[in-house]
Amino acid sequence: INEFVEAVDCEDDCVVVKYGGSVKAPKILADIVESIAAAVYVDVGFDLKKLWVIIRGVLEPIVTLQDLEQKPQPVTMLYEICQKNGKKVDIEQQRNGAKSTANVYVDGELVASASSDQKDIARLEAAKAALHKLERLLPATTMIRDCYVGIDGTFEVEAAKQKLYAICGIKKWPKPVYSIVKDEGTPQDKKFVTAVQIATPSATLQMSGDEKSRVKDAENSAASLMIRALQQHKYV
């Protein structure tokens, strides 16, 4: 367990950590956490709210669906970008002793490779390396355009938050920051308006979205309108 803790402390890539980490967690660690949670649950009289208050600190940092949406999975992003640029991707994996090696081929040419004790992590790292190389090989505007294909007359983009995050990553801008600017209505009829802010080298841009019944949808609306504004003002 100590070795695992030290390895996690050395992790410097949030993408890898969110999608599994470069070191496999020992099973005994899960057993310990489960035992602690069970003991606390009994001690608080089977009150789930009290259990969560006490045990949450043990589970931090907690990776949510929103976190995963903001940081696209590298393998998925690689396939999407290459497909939209008419390129074929193949990821071949082989085992060499304790190490698994993943090789990324684009149109039959080796673009990147990576090794890890875990097959999935080797695949993630290889995809990340391939994306970095493709940024240099493909026109930047082409890669950015792939991130927001799908804008229609309503300015609503499916998974707009993820696509805006990808645009900022490609442009080397800080990640978007969201804030709720309107929270009204009864619990049964809530209305939210969310604003998104991004910092570009020339200016800090902010855009508010349309009124929605869920925060997630409000953020998606703001991201959609921000993408549209970036297009109109030639930022991308």
CB 114 within 8 A of CB 122: yes
**Can you tell me the distance from the alpha carbon of 21 to that of 199, in angstroms, rounded to the nearest whole number?**
29
The pLDDT of residue 157 is 57
| Residue 81 φ then ψ, to 5° | -65, -45
Does pTM surpass 0.85? no
From the CB of residue 214, how many other CB atoms can be counted at a distance below 10 Å?
11
What is the pLDDT confidence band of residue 67, given thresholds at 50, 70 and 90?
A: low
pLDDT tens digits along 99-127: 899 999 999 999 999 998 888 888 988 99
From the CB of residue 144, how many other CB atoms can be counted at a distance below 10 Å?
20
**Can you tell me the distance from the alpha carbon of 60 to that of 39, in angstroms, rounded to the nearest whole number?**
19
DSSP-H helix ranges across 74-159: 74-84, 119-137, 140-147
Q: Looking at 84-98, 131-145, 193-207, 213-227, which range is the least confident one? A: 131-145
If residue 106 lies in a helix (H) or strand (E), which one and from where to where?
A: strand 99-106
Q: Does residue 150 have a pLDDT over 60? A: no
CB 123 within 8 A of CB 61: no
Spatial CA neighbour of 114 closest among 163, 166, 75:
75
pLDDT tens digits along 173-226: 999 999 999 999 888 888 999 999 998 888 888 888 888 988 988 999 999 889
**What's the whole-number mean pLDDT along residues 69-90?**
79
CB 178 within 8 A of CB 192: no
pLDDT tens digits along 7-62: 666 655 444 445 555 566 778 888 998 999 999 999 999 999 999 888 887 777 66
What is the pLDDT confidence band of residue 64, given thresholds at 50, 70 and 90?
A: low
**Can you tell me the distance from the alpha carbon of 108 to that of 115, in angstroms, rounded to the nearest whole number?**
20
Structure tokens at 171: 């442009």
The pLDDT of residue 69 is 55
Where do the domains of the chain lie, and which CATH numbers do they carry? Answer: 2-63 (no CATH), 70-138 (3.30.160.20), 144-232 (3.30.160.20)
